Amino acid sequence: MIPSNNYLEKLTFDQLFNLAEFIVYENFSKHLDTGLDDYNRNEINEILIEEERFFENAEVYAEKDILGNINGAIRILKWNRRDILPIKKIFNIDPHLWLENNPQIEIYHIGRFAIKKDIRDINLFKKLMVCAIAPVCERNHNVAFAEIYAKLLRVLNLLGIKTVTIGNSTNYLGSESIPVSMSQEGLLDFFNKNKSLVSENILTHSVNIIKKSEQLTPQLF
């Protein structure tokens, strides 16, 4: 087998535009078979502004090829209980409702998950998901929200990632998107089976950064 020259890394703030461009291009080209136009560029700017606002409490991961082009990306955000999450903006689902039964739970949002159209690598899919759910799996009762395309949701379920649909679907970035929640209990089995695909250093770094942001951000709302 020829060794892969691809590598997984955490993106820096100044790489967020590349992330936004990749997300929009891959979603529209995959679902609508179209390239970038003025409407798409507005979408890029909206995503960029949102991700810049979230960046302090987030980790963004991307696999790149030897030339530095993004093959796939994902973002995990620890909610500060103040920012408006996409689940609220797109579906009008209020994450505060999950705090009523247990105000001590940690709430996360998983987003910006995309893989280049011509790549068929299930391990890339698994690696990105492992990076995103690592902080969620750290503690009992943690919950993560996501807006997932219908086709992707079927893949997640087949891989053993348990999700709960919490609202009606809508069209977002060119495809049917479904709001879901994921608990630590529903993610832990997948995480334990696949965490060996990602270096321990990256996983530890991810969890530590999220914990650090918790110390810096008051847990008031």
pLDDT in tens, 5-60: 899 999 999 999 999 999 988 877 655 555 555 557 888 999 999 999 999 999 99
Average pLDDT for residues 183-188, to the nearest whole number?
94
How many whole angstroms separate alpha carbon 134 and alpha carbon 207? 7
Buried b (16+ CB within 10 A) or exposed e, 171-205: ebbbbebbbbbbbbebbeebbeebbeebeeebbee
pLDDT score recorded for residue 91: 94
Judged on CB neighbours under 10 Å (0-12, 13-18, 19+), 209 is middle
pLDDT score recorded for residue 38: 59
Structure tokens at 210: 């999220």
How many whole angstroms separate alpha carbon 164 and alpha carbon 145? 10
User: Which secondary structure element, helix H or strand E, spans residue 113, and what is its range?
Assistant: strand 107-115
164 pLDDT above the threshold of 80: yes
Task: Report the predicted TM-score, pTM, of the whole model to 2 decimal places.
Answer: 0.86
